Every structure is written in structure tokens, then in C-alpha cells.
Structure 1
Amino acid sequence: MKKSTLAIALSLAGLVLGGCNDATNSSSASANAKPQVEASGTQTAQAQDFATFSGQFIENLWQVAPTWALYSGYHKYDGILDVADEAQRAKTLAFVNTQREMLQAFDTTKLSTSELIDYRLIENLLNSVEWEQTRFRAWQWDPSGYNVAGGFAQIINEEFAPLDERLRSVVSRLENVPAYYEAARKNIDNPTLEHTELALLQNQGAFSVFNDELVAKVEGSGLTDAEKTLFKQRFDAAIAAINEHITWLETLSNNLKANGARDFRIGEALYEEKFALDIQSGMTAKALYDKASADMIRVHAEMARITKEIWGKYFTEAMPDDSKVATRMLIDKLSAKHVKREDFVDEVRAQIPELVKFVNDKQLITLDPNKPLVVRETPEYMRGYAGASISAPGPYDKGGNTYYNVTPLDGMSDESAESYLREYNHWILQVLNIHEAIPGHYTQLVYSNESPSLIKSLFGNGAMVEGWAVYTERMMLEEGYGNFEPEMWLMYYKWNLRVIANTILDYSIQVKGMTQEEAMQLMTEEAFQQEAEAAGKWRRATLSQVQLTSYYAGYREIYDFREELKAKAPESFDLKAFHERFLSFGSAPVKYIRELMVN
């Protein structure tokens, strides 16, 4: 499915918050001043104090996490590449402790509902950063967390400032590349093989950013001769540092293959802790797993019903008694209808205007024509994780492009490409585009950037973000997209089974020790996935934890909330109004948006 820039930023928090250069502390004089909440005497005064604290908290955070700031569209610290060494981890924890003390000085009973949600989001962020640093410690065992390419690509490719200004940030940022990778190698201890191999693949892809095109941009720029000379020195040193790191990763990977490596599974205790911090749904991971298991049975029944309804349209022989066998046969038959491999990216691009027209015609939500969506081939340094994703500008850069990254199939064998295309067949490719683009991730992230609360926009909840995208898939079909064609609904349920299976799969692998063979059986036999898709999902489940549950967790919360409101006032319920009000609160956890909408 996807990883939006917001989601990337959140997943990077544990590493990006590895600290800052001393230079970033120059403007943080007010960071240690406690909010004067007790002296205010009124809720209005406290609200003003909390707003001041929130704004200063964000500024202090960006000083500690300049790369996260860059991804969020805040460009004051673009020239700083943070080096995650021991001293900087100590600075991060000092930041957490200072900000937590300031936060706890507020009387939460005097905050408004909206302010209280911001309070909880800040509190959860601080807890997450501390947990990542001291308990989870992925900075030790996950080498894929170290890759400088993304930040440089963001500066080079996004036209948020004149080219010369951005190139000066590049020159400044290049200075720390050798130290960055040196610190990475010192940090890495007892890594997993899976994350080591991903690190190798993605760092090799860094040369799609550090290339002759960048050199030519600098040479043709308005930088001074001295700046161009400095760029050349630092660029050459960065290239050498990346190559050195790649060689080191190759050696490390070979050693891990020969001698064994740490298990990528994190176990029940860490999984439940991470789930509580990341999902914020109010239920345990085990409870969500049980809910998904029950939902899989329900969806199987719906698919069996549709299969029985249209079986005679595609087969002359009698339908098998085993409903899953019959459904699998029908899905296989329908999956042969798909785009040619060389047309995959172009077909995605062509479907976007059709989705825009449907949403506008049905008045489902207001789309801003001034917020561009650009379909592009996934940059090489981002490949190897997901086949489609959204890279959205942060709330500081609302006018920037949102990129729909689609990985072309030219690197696949004919067999793998055919399997992939059967998975993303005529019907499911449309559902994918709903999810990623219109009115899914792209639309939600545009609205999130317009939220009056910067806290809710910046520190959003992954389950809400993913859940919205999954919710829109069903909502669009309910509103008539696909003309209620049973084939579309059958394929939708197949797609929805992936969301359900994601939760079952992730929990089963990370907590219950599910093997690759068992995982493949779940995905291909119970969720009707193609071999290539299932293999890719297994790989993804070995590289991440909990994130795969966010789709189902958020979807169920949003859909159930909508149905609850409809049941209370069926005659007056306005779907467009619900969508726009729901999205107006940024990317806050669904349980908090519910509070705001019912109060």
C-alpha cells in the first residue's frame, strides 16, 4: 500500500531524533522557560499559554530533529544533517525530559477538548521518542534507518526556494555525510539480516540523488567559485562515504548469512507497547487481532454470495461445493483482465481525472484544484518497500507537489510481472488509486495541512491516515463507483481481505512466530493473493512492526463512527459534511476526532 511523507516522518522519529548539531541550539533560549499556567487564573489565559508552549515545542523539536523538519516543509534547518551518535541521543532524551516537565505543568481540566487532544499528541510523541531510544533501540539493529538520500532529494527536487538557496543547503548538509555513516557503523550491533539487506539496496539507490545531474546543477548555478569548490570537495567525500558504507554493509550481510542473525520478530511485550504508542486506538493489539479474525469470516461469506450470483456468467461447469475454491477460481478468471506491464504507470496516471470527476459529480468532498498531484515513477532510493506510495508536502509547504510514486515493472521477470498485474488487475488497480490518491491519502493529507492545529497536522496518527484511505475504498463503491458491478465488489472484498489479513499477519508473525510458509498460505489461500504480492507482503512484515495493523484499525474506527452518526440522524446525515468535518481536525487519532465531532 503506501507510506506517506507524514508516515515516513513518524517512522523516522526514533532515528531522526537522534540529536542535533550544536549549531541548532542557538535559538532555543526560551526552551527552558516553564509556562506560567498557575498564574493565569482563567481558562483563556491558560489556552494562550498552551498555544505559546505548543508553538515553542514545535520549534524546539525542529532544532533537535532538523531532517524531520525538512520532511514537514520547515526549511530553517535544511543545511543540518544530524549525526546520530551517543552525545546526540543524550540531547534527545534531555529534550524529552524538559518538554515533558513543561507539559505536565498544565492543568488538563482547564484545557478545551481540542487543546487536550494536542496535549495528548505531544505527550504520546515524547513517550514514543523515549521508548524508541531506550527500549526499542532500532538504531542498533536496523541498518536501513541510515540513508542520507531522502533529505537531499527533498531539497533538490522540491522548488520551495530559489535553486541557489537550496543548493547552499545541500553544500552545508554534505559536510556531515562521512560522520553520519561513521556513527551509523558504530551504532549498528547485532542487526537483522532483513534490515541489513534493505539498507544495502536503498543506499545503492542513493546514487540516483548523488549523480552527475546534481553536479551539473551546481556548476550552472549562481554559487560563488568558493562555494562550488567546497561543494566538489564535500560531494566527493560523500560519494566515498556512501561507497564505504555499501562495502561495509555487503560484508556485514555476508557475515550474517554465514553465521546467523538476530530474529526480526520483536515479541509480544514490545509489540503491545509499540501498538499502544503508534495506533492509539484504545484497544490492545490482541483485541484487534481477534476482531480481524472474526471480520475475515464475514468477508468470506460475502465473497461466497457474489461468487454464487455470477458463477454462470464465467463458467459452464457446476460451481464447486467448497466456496473458497469457487471464489478462488472466479478471482483467477477475472484477474486475467489487466493492463500491459509497460503501460502500468501510464494507466495509473490516466485514472486520476476519472476519480476526480466522480468525487465532484457525487459531491463527496471538496477537492482543491490548486493542490497538484503528480504521478511519477518511484525514485530508486525509495524502492524496495512498497509498489505505490504518496509523498506529500508538510503543512509548512502547502503549495508543494504531492507525488504519487508508482514503481514500474521493468525490473521484474515476465512471471513476476504477470503475477503482480493479476493482483493489480482491472478492478483492483482502481481501488488502489482510490486508496492512494482520490479521495484517499492525497485528499486527506491536503486537508490535514489546512488544520488550524499545527500539532494535529504534524504529529498525526498513522491509523487515522491509513484508515481514511481504506474507508474511502468502500465509501466510493457504496456511492456507485463501478456502477455496483458485482465483479468490482468481489475484487473490493479481495482487496479488503488484504487489510484484514495485514493485521492477522503482522501479529501472527511478530508475536506468534508464524513462519514464511504459514504466512504465504494465509495470504494466498485465505486472502486470495497472488504469489508475488504475498511474497512482497512477507518481506514487508519482516521489515516493519505494527504499521500493517494501522489500515484495519483506522478503517474500522472511521466506518463504525460514520454508521453510528447515520443511525442517530438518518434523515439529516450529510456525507460530504461528515467527510469535510472529519478531515478538518488534521491527522489526529480517530478516538480524538470523535470527541471533537460529538461535543
Structure 2
Amino acid sequence: MKKTKLALMLVAALAGTSACQMNSPQEPTNLVKQTPATQGFSDFSLQFIDSLWTISPTWALYSGYHKYDGQLQIPDRQSRFEQLAFIDKQQQLLTQFEPDSLDVKSRIDYRLIENLLASMKWEIETYRAWQWNPSIYNVAGGFAQITNEDFAPLEERLRSVISRLENVPAYYAAARDNIQNPTLEHTQLALGQNKGVFSILSEELAKQVADSKLSQTEKALFSERFELAKDAVEMHIDWLAQLTANLEKNGAKSFRIGEALYEQKFAYDIQAGMTAKALYQKALKDKANVQAEMAKITKDLWSKYFDTPMPKDTNQATKQLIDLLSSKHVKRENFVDEVSKQIPELIKFVEKKKLLTLDPYKPLVVRETPEYMRGFAGASISAPGPYEKHGNTYYNVTPLDEMTAESAESYLREYNHWILQVLNIHEAIPGHYSQLVYSNESPSLVKSLFGNGAMVEGWAVYTERMMLEEGYGDFEPELWLMYYKWNLRVICNTILDYSIQVNGMTREQAIDLMTNEAFQQMAEAEGKWRRATLSQVQLTSYYSGYREIYDLREEQKEKLGKQFDLKTFHETFLSFGSSPVKHIRELMQ
């Protein structure tokens, strides 16, 4: 596939589906007079957010708040000291409010801020990834956010770039001072991704500055800082290469974090109301149930595709059928284009079935994954924050150019004709893209900004099943079989992550689980093993959030009977930002 700029704008496709703005249910904050306690907390929460951005300027940038765009925070001891001082101060301020005195919406915001502060402190003092994970140090994202988004006049954004460039050398010097006893896996990832920085700090950027209306003094300052920044990145890459070689030769810290840290991280990140071990045990039961459903479909389809007796081992039979069906897939050079072609069909189905109101004025852009983001996931969403609601949402799809023919074929068999459709439901419509648009519309900045990963991923997984239940794909059994395969992957993500990080599962055991029990292709299994060595807990968010959302919907259906309306449920659920599902349940009840 040609490495040309790929910005497949789908605004026209969205605009053709609806003539109205999204009209999602919102928290009726203006309908009920706030109590003094609730008003006081509302004032505090706004002050908290404003203060947070002063110590987290890049987070502010990603959220669409541009006051501090020119500040690249140096991740040194002083910055950690300032962060801890901020946390202590805000925790003290939080104690002036009694949660039970607040209305339910404010009480949930209280819990979100409380959890965020505790999590930030734990990350710095206990988890300490800033010491052992070199991949967290990369300047590309902030620069890309400024240069790629048209949120302000070009010259204003370029001045932020110039200001930001000043601290790049000190940023990487601090990173090297911080890194102690790193893991090999995270060091290798850092090496690869920092090479991608030059796709952002590029000659194209230099030309953009040269052609701009900046003064000659500003252009000269850019050139000086630009060269120093590139030298700093080159130096850091060389240092990472030497570090990688040393770790490969002499050994490195294990990427496994162990049960105690895992349970703590799970509690902060997932907020599911159960332990990680309990979720793991639940996943084991669901795995058996899904495999049984797949066996039923395999039995029904067997004679359609085979003239030999079906194996007695149902998993073997299912795997054999999936292997046969997986040969139906797009050509490798058409992979990214095929993703973009499917989006209008999903929009049309959602509108026809009245599943959700889609906003035609919120652009979705399918693009090749930027180089500095590659190496972790094959598809992802980059969405604007609540301060920048009208910015582009990017659907990042990694092309298969650099794969060998064998790896590409394995990858395409995994994302075959049926599963590619499920992937697009998950990532785009009505999955991540749609949910994040709604999240930005929540009147509560706290709920929109401090989103819960399990809710975000759980919604995307929930929509996969919901779309098929509503008739997407005309109830084709092959599509349902592949959906169950995909859903089994979600379940096994939890089993895999817990087993690797806590139980010491080996690579061979992990590959066996994924290929023989979850029916995944080898390329997908190897990629997931890599991902499970680079992240912790995040892989459990899909299954955790999905089960909570699906169970909540079924409870609402039973409670409301004929009065239950699916579109109303969806829009009400999404109106509360990206809150943990347990809190949304409280709000909806």
C-alpha cells in the first residue's frame, strides 16, 4: 500500500443520514435548584480541573484545553514533587464535602475525583512505572496534536510548537535519569516508537514554518530549537538501543507485576465493584458457555461446507470451520480502504433501526495509524476532548505494508470478511466513535474528562452484540459464529491478562489458549501476547464493562416491560459521560 496521506473524510456520509444535531438526554442540572453543598462542590470541581491542567499541560492539550499548549513538562523529580503536592492539597479540599450531602450526580463526580487523586498518587509512589517503563517517554503526541488539529490559526499553533521545542532536550535527559531497572519489552517499544518521532518533527513541519507568516526572529528560533530537539531524540534513541542490547545480554526486570499490584491497579482503573480474581473466575465460566454456542452453530453449518463427518471434539470442529471461513478476506493492499467503505453502511443501519442519534457535524476520519503510535494495536480511536467537541475523531488503522506475506495473510484471516465488520462496529459506529461524541456532550466535565476505560471499552463490545441482535447481517449464522469468536477473544483477554501478570502463564500456554480455545490466528495471538506484556489490567476492561452494560440493559427491559425503548436506553446511558457503569446504574435507577 502506498504511504500517501490517507484522510478518508466521512463527514458527507454522516451528513446524509440526518438533518438534525444530536439531541441526547442530558443531566437536568438547570431544572433543580442546587443545595449549598452541591453548589459548593460544583465550584470545587471546576477549580480542581483548572488546577489539574497547570501540572498536566499535555493532558490538557489532549482534552482540547489549549491554554498550556506551549508547555512541555519535564518529567523530573521536581515535577513529581509538584504533582504530589497538588494531590495532597486537592485531597484535603475534598474532605470539606460529605458525599451523602450531595445530589447523586455530584456524588458520582466526587467519587471520580477521589479515585483519580488516589490513583495518581499510587502511580507515583507505589507503581512507579516512571522508573521501569521507558515507553511512557515520547514527545511526539503533543506536537502531533498541535500541528494536525485546526483549533486555532496556524501561526498561533506554530508558536506553541516553538515554545514546546525548548524543553525537548531536558525532557529526554530527565527520562534517562528516571529509568532504573526497566523491562526489556517496554524498552524495545520505546525504541521503536521514538524512531517515529521524526514523522512529526519532520522536514514537512520545517517547511510549514518557513512558509508561514511568523516573523524572521520566530523562524530563526524555531530552526535553532528544532535542530536541538532532533539531536536530543537521536541521542535518546541511541541510548535506548544500547540499553536494549544490555538488557538482552544481561537480563531485565520482569514485565509481570504480580497479584498485589495487579489488584490495586484493577481497583483504580476498572472500578467494577469486584476483584480482578473474581472477574477472572467469571470469565472462565463464560468461556465455556460461548464455546458451547459456537459448537451449536458449527453443527448446523457443517454439512454446508464439509462432506466429511464432523470431529467429535467440538472445539476441533469449530476451529476447522473457522479456518475454512477465514480465507474470505480483503486483499492486504485494500485493508485500510475497506475499513472506510464499511462505515456508511453502519451509519445507515443505525439510523434505519433507530438505535442511536448520530451527529452529522462531528467528523470521523479514517487514517493510517501515525508511525509514532504503531506497535501496540492494529486499530484504535483518537477522539477530541470535551473542550473541542467539533474536532476530528480519528479511526487509526495500521496498514499491512511492513508485514511479511505470511504474517499479513494470518492477520487478514483473523480480520476476515465477517470480523472486519465487527471491528468497525466496535471502533467506529455505534462503538467508540459514537460513545465519545456523546461523552463530550455531558454537562459534567468531570464525567467527560476522567472517563472509565471499562465503560468506554465495554460500550464498544456491547454494541457488537446489540447490532447483531437487531439484525445487522440478516442473522447470518457465519457472522454469528465469527461474532462469538470475537466475543471469546474479549473473554480470553481477561483470562490471558490475569494469567500472565498474576499466575505466570508462559508464552507457549498463552498461544495455546488463544489459538486452540479462542480460535485466533497465530499473528493475532502473537500480537496479543506482546500487548499483554506491555500493558496491565487494560485488557480486562472489555469484558468487565460489557458484562455490566449488557446486564443493566436486561434488567431495564425486565423492569420496564413494553415501555422499554432501546434507543432511549442507549441515549440515556451515554448521556452521563464515560462514568463507571456502576455509577451510571445508580443514575439510571
Q: Shorter chain as normaliser: what TM range?
A: over 0.9
Aligned mate of 1:277, from 268, 290, 300: 268
Aligned mate of 1:407, from 383, 398, 403: 398
Q: Is the 8 A contact 1:449 1:586 kept in 2?
A: yes
Provide, for residues 270-312 of structure 1, a one-character-per-residue CA deviation record: whole Å limited to 9, x for no partner.
0000000000000000000000000000000000000001111
After superposition, the CA RMSD in angstroms is 0.7
Matches of 2:431 and 2:198, distance apart in 1: 32
1:230 aligned partner, one-letter code? L
2:120 aligned partner, one-letter code? V
Moved over 6 A (4+): none
Q: Does 1:532 align with 2:520?
A: no
Q: Which residue pairs with 2:367 in the alignment?
A: 376
Aligned mate of 2:145, from 154, 158, 161: 154
Alignment of 1:79-118 (within 5 A): 79-118=70-109
Q: Which residue pairs with 1:183 in the alignment?
A: 174
Provide, for residues 150-198 of structure 1, a one-character-per-residue CA deviation record: whole Å limited to 9, x for no partner.
0000000000001000000000000000000000000000000000000
Matches of 2:451 and 2:147, distance apart in 1: 26
Aligned mate of 2:255, from 239, 250, 264: 264
Tell me the TM-score normalised to structure 2 length: 0.94
Question: Which of the pair has the greater relative contact order for Cα pairs under 8 Å at 6+ separation?
Answer: 2
Q: Which residue pairs with 1:352 in the alignment?
A: 343
Q: Which residue pairs with 1:28 in the alignment?
A: none
Alignment of 1:24-35 (within 5 A): none
1:504 aligned partner, one-letter code? I
Q: Is the 8 A contact 1:198 1:384 kept in 2?
A: yes
Aligned residue pair count = 557
Provide, for residues 494-521 of structure 1, a one-character-per-residue CA deviation record: whole Å limited to 9, x for no partner.
0001100000000000000000000000
Matches of 2:536 and 2:476, distance apart in 1: 36
Provide, for residues 190-243 of structure 1, a one-character-per-residue CA deviation record: whole Å limited to 9, x for no partner.
000000000000000110001110000000111111100000000000000000
Aligned mate of 2:232, from 231, 235, 241: 241
Q: Is the 8 A contact 1:43 1:110 kept in 2?
A: no
- Describe the SS at the equivalent of 1:519: helix
Alignment of 1:291-302 (within 5 A): 291-302=282-293
Aligned mate of 1:477, from 468, 486, 491: 468
Q: Which residue pairs with 1:63 in the alignment?
A: 54
Matches of 2:401 and 2:174, distance apart in 1: 36
1:564 aligned partner, one-letter code? E
- Describe the SS at the equivalent of 1:376: strand
| Aligned-residue offset at 1:355 | 0.2
Q: Does 1:328 align with 2:304?
A: no
Aligned mate of 2:455, from 436, 460, 464: 464
| Aligned-residue offset at 1:569 | 2.0
Matches of 1:541 and 1:290, distance apart in 2: 18
Matches of 2:38 and 2:491, distance apart in 1: 41
Matches of 2:169 and 2:436, distance apart in 1: 35
2:281 aligned partner, one-letter code? D
Q: Which residue pairs with 1:429 in the alignment?
A: 420
Aligned mate of 1:579, from 559, 570, 579: 570
| Aligned-residue offset at 1:551 | 0.2
| Aligned-residue offset at 1:109 | 1.6
- Describe the SS at the equivalent of 1:457: helix
Matches of 2:94 and 2:180, distance apart in 1: 34
Q: Is the 8 A contact 1:296 1:500 kept in 2?
A: yes
| Aligned-residue offset at 1:570 | 2.1
Matches of 2:37 and 2:309, distance apart in 1: 72
Aligned mate of 2:110, from 87, 110, 119: 119
Aligned mate of 1:365, from 343, 353, 356: 356
| Aligned-residue offset at 1:67 | 0.3
- Describe the SS at the equivalent of 2:35: helix
Q: Which residue pairs with 1:597 in the alignment?
A: 588
- Describe the SS at the equivalent of 1:374: strand
1:427 aligned partner, one-letter code? W
Q: Which residue pairs with 2:134 in the alignment?
A: 143
Matches of 2:548 and 2:193, distance apart in 1: 35
| Aligned-residue offset at 1:43 | 6.3
